[in-house]
Amino acid sequence: DAKTTQPTSMDCAEGRAANLPCNHSTISGNEYVYWYRQIHSQGPQYIIHGLKNNETNEMASLIITEDRKSSTLILPHATLRDTAVYYCIVRVRDTNAGKSTFGDGTTLTVKP
Amino acid sequence: GAGVSQSPRYKVTKRGQDVALRCDPISGHVSLYWYRQALGQGPEFLTYFNYEAQQDKSGLPNDRFSAERPEGSISTLTIQRTEQRDSAMYRCASSLVFGIHEQYFGPGTRLTVT
């Protein structure tokens, strides 16, 4: 799997957009970008994934650069409950895609 | 609907004892994954199953660790002759179809070896 690099921590003001970057410069053509988050001691929660087009769902938007070497997860109006560790993962989607490498993620702190 | 459940939620055991951790995936989910998570770190992959077949066990630290999923549903992760370094949160996840990475995680089992 391609290695990902994320900042260790970020702060965001409540109500503002939180933009979390991820570098994956060695990503290959058939690898998707996935984002998960982990709130306090809960299990990780799936947020969104994409291949090359930008994606949006009820939780967030995912912007992938044209060369696919980096991406940004956007939480449009961050709330205090969005304080969590956010993980960016790069993975192929095939029958052998079981092993996942989470890394240490970005700790996002949303401040009032 | 019901999510992934794990039991026990907390387990304290003495060094040298065997422990069995149980995972009950979301009904109908084909793939099941085990992770270990140390405090302040991301989940570390241990092993995964498609149905009852163990597809990859490359993340199991040593031969004291084993996992099974005999009927393609509930899975058990067994640690024999536990050591203090085995203390961690053990998490289970399941996904609807193999090859799809949207995994749903359980609450975890906090294992403490004294």
- Give the model confidence (pLDDT) of B25-77 as tens digits: 999 999 999 999 998 899 999 999 999 999 999 999 999 999 999 999 999 99
B7 Cα to chain A: minimum distance (Å): 14
Identify the DSSP state of B63. T
B45 interfaces chain A, CB cutoff of 8 Å: yes
CB–CB of B104 and A46 under 8 A?
yes
B50 interfaces chain A, CB cutoff of 8 Å: yes
The pLDDT of residue B45: 93
Of A2, A17, A46, the residue nearest B4 (C-alpha)? A46
B64 interfaces chain A, CB cutoff of 8 Å: no
CB–CB of A46 and B103 under 8 A?
yes
For A46, name the nearest residue in chain B, comparing CA atoms only. B102
The pLDDT of residue A67: 95
The pLDDT of residue A98: 66
Mean pLDDT of B76-100: 93
CB–CB of A93 and B101 under 8 A?
yes
Q: How far apart are CA B81 and CA B65, in angstroms?
A: 9
For B32, name the nearest residue in chain A, comparing CA atoms only. A98
Burial class (CB in 10 A: 0-12, 13-18, 19+), B32: buried
B53 interfaces chain A, CB cutoff of 8 Å: no
Task: Evaluate the omega torsion of the peptide bond into residue A112 and state whether it is cis, within 30 degrees of 0.
Answer: no
Percent of chain A with pLDDT strictly greater than 90: 77
CB–CB of A93 and B99 under 8 A?
yes
The string of pLDDT tens digits covering residues A86-107 is 999 988 877 566 677 888 899 9
